[in-house]
Amino acid sequence: MGSMSRAKRSDDWGFPRWRPYGSSREARQVRLCDRHGCAEPGNCPAPKSPNSPERWYFCESHAAEYNRGWDYFAGLSAEDAAARAAEEAQGARSYARAQHYAWGGAGDGSRSADEMRALEILGLDPDADFDATKKAWRAYAKECHPDVKPGDADAAKRFAAGQAAFEVLKQAEERKSWKPT
């Protein structure tokens, strides 16, 4: 009886895996750039003409070159181009409100939730600078300081909240302007 040859196992089965995950021995099929003479991978699809499902597949540099000269309204009359632009704008109007600054409320996103609450307590806009914060704190303190309104528990609570809010904003300003030596 002759011995049958068995299929050889690869050396990367089990744990630890000796090759990175996703790597295999099979050759990958790469689509080349559709620009004549380019040997780069063509992984950027671009329409062959407006409203066409057919696509070119360019490398990044040729896609940038192609897009630089692209005219979406090519071949349309001025009236048709204006109607198409109005239709596109109407469809995109609902996205205009959803820009990054509108999602979380006012401000540019650089303030924490505590800072935003502190600004609200002092009656300031989210983009107020620290000089406006100091001015608002002085006015707030004059309004509800326990020396101005002795025996008023509500004013004392409001003053304590304003004092804490000013501390939060003061520390945030110090963190922003702090530079290591």
Tens-digit pLDDT profile for residues 146-163: 888 888 889 889 999 999
Chain mean position to CA 158: 37
CATH number for the domain whose boundaries are 113-177: 1.10.287.110
What is the model's pLDDT at position 162? 92
The share of the chain scoring above pLDDT 90, in percent, equals: 19
How far apart CA 138 and CA 82 sit, in angstroms, is 55
Q: Which residue has the tokens 């914060």?
A: 133
Mean pLDDT of 88-102: 59
b (16+ CB within 10 A) / e for 140-173 = beeebbeeeeeeeeebeebbebbeebbebbeebe
Higher-confidence position of 2 and 66? 66
Burial class (CB in 10 A: 0-12, 13-18, 19+), 122: buried
Report pLDDT digits (tens) over 5-34.
666 666 555 555 566 666 666 667 788 898
Tokens of 180: 């290591």
Mean pLDDT of 69-87: 82
Q: Where in the chain is the domain with CATH 1.10.287.110?
A: 113-177
The β-bridge partners of 64 are none
Mean pLDDT of 49-74: 82
How far apart CA 12 and CA 22 sit, in angstroms, is 12
Mean pLDDT of 92-98: 57
Report pLDDT digits (tens) over 100-146.
444 455 555 678 888 889 999 999 988 888 899 999 999 999 998 88
